[in-house]
Structure 1
Amino acid sequence: MSRRARVTPAEAGLPDGGARRRTPGLRREEVAVLAGVGASWYQWLEQGRDISVSPQVLDSVARVLRLGDAERRHLYVLAGLNPPAPQPAPGRPDMCEGLRRLIDTWMPYPAHIMDPYYNCVMYNDAAAVVLGMRPDITQNCLVDFFTDPLYRSRSKSWEGNARSVVAQFRAASSARPDDEGYRAVLEQVSAASEEFRALWAERDIEDAGQIRKELDHPLVGLLCLEATAMKVPARPDLTIVLHTPLEEAGTAAKLEWLASPEGRRGAMYPVAG
């Protein structure tokens, strides 16, 4: 009812006739007509009665009431249905700027952000220095994991992590089996790596979470990191990967040195170990 009161007839494409309206916003009957449902059914919906509700009808009502994504999912919950997956908010371009500030503030520890297909959207300076992220690779985290010789030369935990990386990509892609974006990445990495093809054939499934990484950096030696993948509800299409130093090998101090002026001069260009 509160959202119905916020939508004017003009916004809904209805003539207001110039007459004074007793009801602010749209009338129930108008919402019912615009959503293609019966007036009595819509009244029962507002009253929370025990009626049959389909996702398609709720989406029609949400469209007429101009609900945002969070409001639409809340409507599903109120109606007793499983809410749809969150969708990116097109009106929140500021989120990318805020996420850039987040990963830059994470310095001197590596951090990067991926889209659903594991394409790297942005990364901080530590990710470039430690993980070897740079413009002249594919910028797809799955493809580069299997094909980038620089990262492969540094990663002491590559064999142990490869199975999890593939299993997590299968879990993500299996939720959207008809998505051409996942198919394109799968074709690219399959053509480039026999090791990927062998692991993909094992059909393992694993949720994204935390992965331990051990890297042999050419300037500071062993680095022990824990990579944590996180989601932001306002941008469900993005995954933030934050790398936290573990206690072994004095990793935190080494990362701080790499981010210092002296360390930056030594690591100006990534080199293989």
Structure 2
Amino acid sequence: MSSWLEQGRDINVSADVLDAVARVLRLDAAEREHLYLLAGLNPPQARPAERAVPAGIRRVVDGWLPRPAYVIDRHWKLIAVNRAARLVFGYEESAHSCLVSFFTSAHFRASLCGWEDAARQIVGQFRADAARYPDDPEFGRLAQDMCAASPAFAAVWAEHPVGAATEGTKSLRHPGAGELTFDYTMLPVSDLPGARLLLYTPAEGTPTESRLAGLLKAADAEPPAPARAPVPAS
């Protein structure tokens, strides 16, 4: 087919057909891009392979203690979370997505001040991310799954908000520490396209810093969970 295209023959092919041809011929990325260009189509953006969080970024996240910090990838998966963020925002070890946690966690809904406004902002940011990567089908799948899992997400998603914020203020009512208010900054992680580092700082003029210190101290004083007894073999 590529020789016919190179000869300038009038052949209309779809992206699905080109993908199938590329798979059959086992074309590499450069050859696949050439095939798309010959057909008069824009080659899709290559999806970056998942990579580990750079060691320097992980040190920043861990070194930001006693303040919360975490990293999300471009699909909003939590890929690095420090201890303060887990205690403040309720990100358990099993939490894998801040988007899912925000819309399905009872802790988030009950504790975050101005939850409805924050929900609109988050959905707007997610939609802006999806528009930034139009050839990444994962965004469509995530949006579909979130609409099924959360009526609140579905309602806001249907309104088509779009927005982007790199800094702001977040307040929440923590069951063990009281009201906490943070200023946050969102920074891109250059080695992981689409990933972002979120750093939280106690807001000036609030008791957040001392309350955060008390929360971490109380957590340090808690005895470790007892080891679970092994299940006897049947």
Aligned to 1:125: 83
**1:248/1:146 CA distance change after superposition, 3 Å:** farther
| Counterparts of residues 190-269 of structure 1 (less than 5 Å) | 190-260=147-217, 262-265=218-221
The alignment-based identity, stated in percent, is 34
What residue identity is the alignment partner of 1:112? Y
Distance apart, 1:169 and its partner CA: 0.5
1:110 and 2:68 aligned:
yes
State how far apart, in whole Å, the 2-side matches of 1:247 and 1:268 are: 33
1:37-79 C-alpha deviation (Å, 9 max, x unpaired): xxxxxxxxxxxxxxxxxxxxxxx8xxxxxxxxxxxxxxxxxxx
Q: Are 1:97 and 2:55 counterparts?
A: yes
Answer yes or no: is the 8 Å Cα contact 1:161–1:211 preserved in 2. Answer: no
Provide the secondary structure at the position in 1 that maps to 2:172: strand
Larger Rg: 1
Structure 2: runs of 5 or more not aligned: 1-29, 31-44, 226-234
Note closer, same or farther for the CA distance 1:207–1:245 as it changes in structure 2 (3 Å cut): same
CA distance, structure 1, for counterparts of residue 141 and residue 208 of structure 2: 37
Deviation string 1:61-107 (CA, Å, 9 cap, x unpaired) is: xxxxxxxxxxxxxxxxxxxxxxxx9x9799x96x6222111111101
Gaps of 5+ in 1: 1-59, 61-84
The correspondence of residues 1-273 of structure 1 with structure 2, limited to 5 A, is 96-137=54-95, 139-260=96-217, 262-265=218-221
CA RMSD of aligned residues (A): 2.7
**How far apart in 1 are the matches of 2:135 and 2:48?**
19
Paired with 2:90 and 2:211, the residues of 1 have a C-alpha distance of: 16
**Deviation of 1:203 (Å):** 1.2
* Contact 1:88–1:234, Cα closer than 8 Å, also in 2: no
Secondary structure of 1:136's partner? coil
Give the whole-Å Cα distance in 2 for the aligned partners of 1:131 and 1:198: 24
Name the SS for the 1:121 alignment partner: strand
Matched residue type, 2:97: N
Aligned counterparts of 1:218 and 1:199: Cα–Cα separation in 2: 28
| 1:178 Cα deviation from its structure 2 partner | 2.8
SS at match of 1:236: coil
